Amino acid sequence: MAAEKMALAKAINESLRTALDTDPKVLIMGEDVGKLGGVFRVTDGLQKDFGEDRVIDTPLAESGIVGTAIGLALRGYRPVVEIQFDGFVFPAYDQIVTQLAKMHARALGKIKLPVVIRIPYGGGIGAVEHHSESPEALFAHVAGLKVVSPSNASDAYWMMQQAIQSNDPVIFFEPKRRYWDKSEVNKDAIPGPLHKAVVAREGADLTLVAYGPMVKVCLEAAAAAQEEGKSIEVLDLRSMSPVDFDSIQASVEKTRRLVVVHEAPVFLGTGAEIAARITERCFYHLEAPVLRVGGYHAPYPPARLEDEYLPGLDRVLDAVDRSLAY
């Protein structure tokens, strides 16, 4: 099968379809995932083809969705649950943190919890409150969970396959404003490991690290900087837990400058951890302090203000300039 161009949402749909097809233990669960195909249509057509026993419309109860998925996993199933929007995950946060994350260790490794929790996340779609948040650091902070986010259709397809095959719970953050972006998906390609960062663009003067929705912004920033004669490397992190510090280190040892970009608030975010670790690892290589670009320590703003809140091309380029000025 040759590579095929498809939207990121479609790639996840195809990935779920492949998983349902190959493993009878895989289940899809969530609010509106059946007939409607999900509010973003990511599960479109799956219930029609696999039935209501495999693609399960649930009551409107997030803790119930995750809690019952844990029970199904204990019975040998591999549930893939959808939380409709980022801000709605919190009713399930207790089940995810106190139960899902810890049960394998509490059972001395005798049971496995292969549950994937899909969360469309991030802003940029003009939504009302609780529909645009980036809570990934809250999950990455919890031992026992793995946290990933694809930035393009190919990764969306393959990372979902890998997340479902993982014996650990995976929080799968889907960049909702990239759902309709198309790119090549090669279903015959052999993907790299789920938690490995990849170089999205080679460069020599500075490294931009991003994941999910911000990779595209960083690639655009790198292209704009190129016109000013600056060579920017863009690293697509892909995984927030674990973080591939080795790949970041390798890039920083080459470029000697690092800017981390994400939509989530800067304070105590993924970028803070990366800045601290890379400073430890690359202290003598760095020509400038590690800088961060991200959201503010404020509630996600109303839609008419989100362009001010979200890191855009200018804010990323400003950070690039500040780093290069050292």
Partner 1 sequence: MTVESTAARKPRRSAGTKSAASAGAKRTSPAAKKSPGTTGAEPELVQLLTPEGERVKDATYDPYVADITPDELRGLYRDMVLSRRFDAEATSLQRQGELGLWASMLGQEAAQIGSGRATRDDDYVFPTYREHGVAWCRGVDPTNLLGMFRGVNNGGWDPNTNNFHLYTIVIGSQTLHATGYAMGITKDGADSAVIAYFGDGASSQGDVAESFTFSAVYNAPVVFFCQNNQWAISEPTEKQTRVPLYQRAQGFGFPGVRVDGNDVLACLAVTKWALERARSGEGPTLVEAYTYRMGAHTTSDDPTKYRADEERESWEAKDPILRLRTYLEASNHADEGFFAELEAESEALGKRVREVVRAMPDPDHFAIFENVYADGHALVDEERAQFAAYQASFADEGEGK
Per the residue annotation, which of 131, 141, 262, 297 is the catalytic one?
131
269 or 311: whose CB is closer to partner 1? 269
Phi/psi at 257 (5° precision) = -140, 145
Q: How far apart are the first and last CA of the chain?
A: 49
Least spacing, CB of residue 104 vs partner 1, in Å: 6
59 or 229: whose CB is closer to partner 1? 59
Residues of the shown chain interacting with partner 1 in the complex, contacts defined by CB under 8 A:
53, 58-59, 61, 63-64, 66-77, 91, 94-95, 98-99, 102-113, 143-144, 146, 166-168, 195, 241-245
76 or 229: whose CB is closer to partner 1? 76
Whole-number Å distance between alpha carbons of 167 and 147:
13
Element (H, E) at 185: strand 182-185
CA distances in angstroms from 80 to 119, 187, 213, listed in the order given: 11, 20, 22
262 is known as an active-site residue = no
Least spacing, CB of residue 131 vs partner 1, in Å: 22
102 or 322: whose CB is closer to partner 1? 102
Tokens for 162, please give them: 């890998």
Phi/psi at 179 (5° precision) = -55, -35
Closest CA to 30 of 100, 113, 77, 92: 92
Return contacts of 95-100, CB within 8 angstroms, 24+ apart: 95/63, 95/66, 95/67, 95/70, 96/66, 96/139, 96/142, 96/145, 96/169, 96/171, 97/142, 99/67, 99/70, 100/66, 100/70, 100/144, 100/145, 100/169
Max Cα distance, the chain (Å): 60
Q: Which amino acid is at 295?
A: G
93 or 318: whose CB is closer to partner 1? 93
The set of catalytic residues is 131
